[in-house]
Amino acid sequence: MISPHYILAKPHDGKMYDNVRSNGLIVSSSMEDHTVTNRLADVISLPHGYDGEVRVGDTLVVHHNVFRTYYDMKGKSRKSYNYVKDDIYYIEDDFFYMYIRDGKFYPKYPFVFVRPVANEKELSVYSTGSKKPLVGELAYVNDRSGEEGLSVGDVVSFKPDSEYVFRINDEKLYRMYQSSIVAKL
């Protein structure tokens, strides 16, 4: 099966939801919880005439609504808008942010992935939590990041509300636009 315009993919490991952690803890039992929808898709077909970097067999990091099941206004369970048939979904170009090949991660421009940095100060009544607000370490950068002086391992500051949480390989990462990076610290 080949689409004239879209990448076709299946949920990674055949799972629609990623709600069980590696230690067996179930973090959500609701299909309406967007935070636990599977964000990994295995590529099974590329669009006709496609000449991009993604290949059949790669794993894509996708938008949380690609595999999400929802209830319509009548309370009936519906498949995602991206559903094609038989566990196959189409992926629009702006609905994937990174591809994984042979264990290596390749973010698509203009996205980068940032690892939260632990808050080193003692937590107090004024603290916002265990992670430093608006600070992180670049975990995965795109092929144009070097042009702006950014590389993996750099500690950066970013704009408020620019981070979008992803869980990849049991690790919490923020997906954000490269332009949301304010400064290299």
pLDDT in tens, 8-39: 999 998 776 666 666 776 666 666 666 666 78
Q: Where a domain ends, among 105, 126, 156?
A: 105
- How many structural domains is the chain composed of? 2
Q: Flag whether pLDDT at 127 surpasses 60.
A: no
> What per-residue confidence (pLDDT) applies to 169?
82
Domain identity same for 28 and 97: yes
Domain region containing 137: 109-184
Q: Where a domain ends, among 57, 84, 105?
A: 105
pLDDT band at 160 (very low <50, low <70, confident <90, very high): very high
Residue 1 domain flag: no
> What per-residue confidence (pLDDT) applies to 28?
64
Average pLDDT over residues 169-185: 93
Domain identity same for 92 and 12: yes
CA dihedral 176, 64, 42, 102 (to 10 degrees): 30
> What per-residue confidence (pLDDT) applies to 39?
83
Domain identity same for 90 and 155: no
> What per-residue confidence (pLDDT) applies to 20?
65
Q: Where a domain ends, among 64, 89, 105?
A: 105
Residue 62 domain flag: yes
pLDDT band at 5 (very low <50, low <70, confident <90, very high): very high
Domain identity same for 41 and 69: yes
Q: Flag whether pLDDT at 179 surpasses 60.
A: yes
Residue 54 domain flag: yes
Residue 165 domain flag: yes
The percent of residues above 90 in pLDDT, for the chain, comes to 60
Residue with tokens 């750099």: 154
C-alpha–C-alpha distance, residues 6 and 49, integer Å: 11
Exposure string of 12-22, with b = 16+ CB inside 10 Å and e = fewer, is beeebbbbeee
pLDDT band at 168 (very low <50, low <70, confident <90, very high): confident
CATH at 148 = 2.30.33.40
> What per-residue confidence (pLDDT) applies to 30?
65
C-alpha–C-alpha distance, residues 70 and 3, integer Å: 25
Domain identity same for 142 and 79: no
Domain identity same for 90 and 127: no
- Which amino acid type is present at position 27? V
Domain identity same for 13 and 100: yes
C-alpha–C-alpha distance, residues 177 and 67, integer Å: 23
Residue 81 domain flag: yes
> What per-residue confidence (pLDDT) applies to 128?
58
> What per-residue confidence (pLDDT) applies to 131?
75
**62 DSSP 8-state letter:** E
Average pLDDT over residues 79-107: 94
Domain identity same for 40 and 115: no
